[in-house]
Structure 1
Amino acid sequence: MDLLATLPGFVVAVLLISASPGPAMALIFRRAALHGLRATVPTVLGLEAGLYVWALCAGAGLAALVAASEVAFVVLRVAGALFLLYLGLKAWHTAWRSRAHTEAATVTSIPEGQPRWAGAFVEGVVVMLANPKAAVFMIAFYPQFVPADRPLLATTALLAAVQVLVETAFYLTLAAAVGRAGAWFRRPVIRRRLDAVSGTVLIALGLRMATTAR
């Protein structure tokens, strides 16, 4: 099996996976809607940094150890679920607090709490690394595209770099499209509803992560 021959199928699979609903998509959509493309960049980079770490762990065999260890799997699952619940509750708190804001606020005003780059980046990294399903996914996904005659770690690192580039381009394109409607999303009533909906989605994802077995 030639690596170059498998790349088109790999890229298509990555795009389909990137477009599927999940914590990453919910985080990116909310960030882009409320803060615009520029503020979404560190979130995307953080998510992709976490993904690349999991890919390297998969290539080195460490992800398999995490997936095989019941204790490590449960610890990561609970930590990831708690972090998603925290993000969801924070969004709900923002929605509740915004009720006190005047409806006369201008639609182009920047919302309070504009995220810092470092905080947004760390948030993305934690969301990805605290998801044990990512370890299981890497173990099942990458070997399908690694030729038998190629070194596993080096080839996995190369494929992961391709995935990071593809996903970064996809997510930033999505963020740019959502960000164009940012003025509409930042209307007080719309922002409040978006915070409530995104908070509900994040809480639901956190509960699903906490209760779903391997």
Structure 2
Amino acid sequence: MYGLAMHPYLLPLLAFAATAAIFTITPGLDTAMTLRTATTSGWKAGLAAVLGICLGLAVWGLGAAFGLTALLAASETAFTAVKWAGALYLGWMGIKLLLHPRSSLAHEQEEAAAGQLTNRPEAGAAFRRGLLSNLLNPKVGVFYMTFMPQFIPPHVNVQEFSLLLTAIQAVLSFAWLGLLVALTIPLGRFLSSPVVVRRMDRLTGGVFLLFSLKLALARRA
């Protein structure tokens, strides 16, 4: 008790970390994108997608810390614009994966054999997909605006404490999604089979379409 009294901010931080961890490990769009990328494009592309996802979360966290995402909560027009941009983006990716799933990883393997910059083009595309999937989801911004204030104690610098909570969320997300990427490495031969690649693309496409529909029907409240 004495130690906690000496650190009045420890309990809010621990409570936030525990709650954020539950949200992080709950399967969702980030999980689907990470697994699909790592299994079909390799662990390097998987980590690139994770970095993009975490950067997207960090941007929304920064916006919440400095009040930028308050615009989404207050403006129906701003919320609707970002919402439909995200829904269309996820819908487009979902339809493309459903209609044109890859049947093998031959293209990526040929690039690696030719020594083309250790698969950097695929990693760059994976990073952009991870980043955009979060930046174009206004519910992430609203989540930060409504979730983080519950863990900010009185008499603190709100911006600095919000940035600390954002950093905790980003670290938790990177650790969990990075673990998922690592788990795909021992299963590389199985996951690179044509049947698994094709089914993984179609499964991910279906998940993206579901999240596109969910986002399109979302409201600010």
Normalising by the smaller structure, the TM-score range is 0.7 to 0.9
Q: Secondary structure at the match of 1:86?
A: helix
TM value normalised by structure 1: 0.87
Aligned-pair Cα RMSD in Å: 2.3
Distance between the aligned counterparts of 1:16 and 1:111, measured in 2? Answer: 40
Provide the residue aligned with 1:87 in structure 2: 93
Which digits, 9 at most, give the CA deviation of each residue in 1:81-104, with x for residues without a partner?
111112212222432x63xx7xxx
Contact 1:111-1:186 at 8 Å conserved across structures: no
Q: 1:30: Cα distance to partner?
A: 0.4
Amino acid at match of 2:30: A
Contact 2:45-2:127 at 8 Å conserved across structures: no
Q: 1:196: Cα distance to partner?
A: 1.1
Seen in structure 2, the aligned counterparts of structure 1 residues 111 and 127 have a Cα distance that, compared at 3 Å, is: farther
Q: Secondary structure at the match of 2:109?
A: coil
Distance between the aligned counterparts of 1:23 and 1:117, measured in 2? Answer: 18
Provide the residue aligned with 1:110 in structure 2: 109
Amino acid at match of 2:212: G
Distance between the aligned counterparts of 1:162 and 1:24, measured in 2? Answer: 17
Task: Determine which of 186, 192, 211 is the counterpart of 1:180.
Answer: 186
TM value normalised by structure 2: 0.85
Unaligned runs of 5+ in 1: none
Unaligned runs of 5+ in 2: 1-6, 113-118
Amino acid at match of 1:21: P
Amino acid at match of 2:23: I
Distance between the aligned counterparts of 1:28 and 1:172, measured in 2? Answer: 9
Amino acid at match of 1:67: A
Q: 1:111: Cα distance to partner?
A: 8.3
Distance between the aligned counterparts of 2:95 and 2:185, measured in 1? Answer: 23
Amino acid at match of 2:33: L
Distance between the aligned counterparts of 2:110 and 2:100, measured in 1? Answer: 10
Contact 1:35-1:182 at 8 Å conserved across structures: no
Q: Secondary structure at the match of 1:180?
A: coil
Number of positions where the alignment pairs a residue of Structure 1 with one of Structure 2: 206
Report runs of 4+ in structure 1 exceeding 4 Å deviation: 111-115
Amino acid at match of 1:165: V
Task: Determine which of 142, 145, 170 is the counterpart of 1:164.
Answer: 170
Contact 1:34-1:111 at 8 Å conserved across structures: no
Moved more, 166-175 or 179-188: 179-188
**Residue identity (%):** 35
Task: Determine which of 60, 68, 77 is the counterpart of 2:83.
Answer: 77
Contact 2:41-2:122 at 8 Å conserved across structures: no
Q: 1:178: Cα distance to partner?
A: 2.6
Task: Determine which of 181, 193, 214 is the counterpart of 1:208.
Answer: 214
Distance between the aligned counterparts of 1:159 and 1:62, measured in 2? Answer: 16
Contact 1:59-1:157 at 8 Å conserved across structures: yes
Q: Does residue 17 of the first structure (1) align with residue 19 of the second (2)?
A: no
Amino acid at match of 2:213: L
